Amino acid sequence: MSQFADRLIDATRRLGPLCVGIDPHASRIPELFGGDTPSGLAAWGMALVDMARGRVAAVKPQVGLFERHGPEGMAALQAVARRAMKAGLIVIMDAKRGDIGSTAEGYAAAYLAEDAPFPSDCLTVNPYMGLDTLEPFLKRAEAHGKGLAVLARTSNPGSADFQALMPDSQPLWAHVATALTAASERLMGATGWSSLMLVAGATGPDEARRLRELAPRALFLVPGYGAQGAGAAEALAGFVAGPQGLEGGLVNASRSVTFPVAAQEAAGFSEWQLAIGQAIDAAQADLKKATQT
């Protein structure tokens, strides 16, 4: 059984660190896919998967933007996730779930089981409720070679409200990272990277460097690059030297690569494809260049 961390690092060495975020914002799904309807979300998401294939290591569907359409929206999410798995893309399911044991088992079954209805390689989870609430996810990850991405320092303006509080002279996000050391060891891959990822926002490069010191073997999931304002160098702040340049995780871009102006103005499908392909390639090239400095 291959480990998530090994699959991820292999794919990023080949293709670069870009992860395409599949975030179906209500007002932005092009009419050519059917607009903001469950079938529109499925068609648009699957077309994005096809464009991401061979260009990037991973895609990251944003569950909340599918969930707003109810069971039919979740069926669209399922269709997108299945297509991405089939395409050999790594699927980072951005659900930010977290709950006590028996309910956490439910979420783990939904996303990380071998026969999960929403097939995923890795699930984002929220640590607030404590380490025991992460255990059911860890067990699934261990059993099936999957990954977990635990929120540490997020990219939003309000992330400091609680994450930057300083118990014992360390920010909360540092406590979270430190508390995960044993879990990180349990998910260690052959490449020396762990399948326990940390979410380390690109809008906080200093924090990312500090997180790297605290968790030297954790792959980072870096949101905030592109539309949220951070550049490639900031996004890679927590990356380290590897055989093909800087490595150590995924940098997510959503709006900048899935809703570029040229795609929103596209008259037809082939024009849309061209615009999306160019936007993905440009973001990947920008990041890859920064891995070589």
**Residues involved in catalysis:** 96
* H or E element at residue 47: helix 38-52
What is the rounded CA–CA span in Å between residue 236 and residue 246?
8
Q: 182 or 285, CB closer to a copy of itself?
A: 182
Pairing of strands 218-222, 122-125: unpaired
Q: Are 25 and 57 in contact (CB under 8 A)?
A: no
What is the rounded CA–CA span in Å between residue 280 and residue 276?
6
Q: 2 or 264, CB closer to a copy of itself?
A: 264
Using CA of residue 236, residue 239, residue 240, residue 245, what is the dihedral sign? Answer: negative
Nearest-approach distance from CB 135 to a copy of itself, in angstroms: 8
Nearest-approach distance from CB 14 to a copy of itself, in angstroms: 30
Residues that bind a copy of itself (CB under 8 A): 23, 25, 62, 64-75, 78, 94, 96-107, 109-110, 117-118, 126-133, 151, 154-163, 165-168, 172, 175-176, 179, 223
Nearest-approach distance from CB 64 to a copy of itself, in angstroms: 4
Q: 85 or 179, CB closer to a copy of itself?
A: 179
Nearest-approach distance from CB 173 to a copy of itself, in angstroms: 10
Q: 65 or 90, CB closer to a copy of itself?
A: 65
Q: 102 or 293, CB closer to a copy of itself?
A: 102
Reduced 3-state DSSP string for 59-126: EEEEHHHHHCCHHHHHHHHHHHHHHHHHCCCEEEEEEEECCCHHHHHHHHHHHCCCCCCCCCCEEEEC
Q: Are 30 and 263 in contact (CB under 8 A)?
A: yes
Q: 78 or 273, CB closer to a copy of itself?
A: 78
* H or E element at residue 241: strand 240-242
The closest alpha carbon to 22, from 47, 39, 5, 1, belongs to 47
The closest alpha carbon to 40, from 30, 27, 52, 53, belongs to 30
Burial label for 233, CB within 10 Å (0-12, 13-18, 19+), is middle
Nearest-approach distance from CB 193 to a copy of itself, in angstroms: 25
Nearest-approach distance from CB 241 to a copy of itself, in angstroms: 31
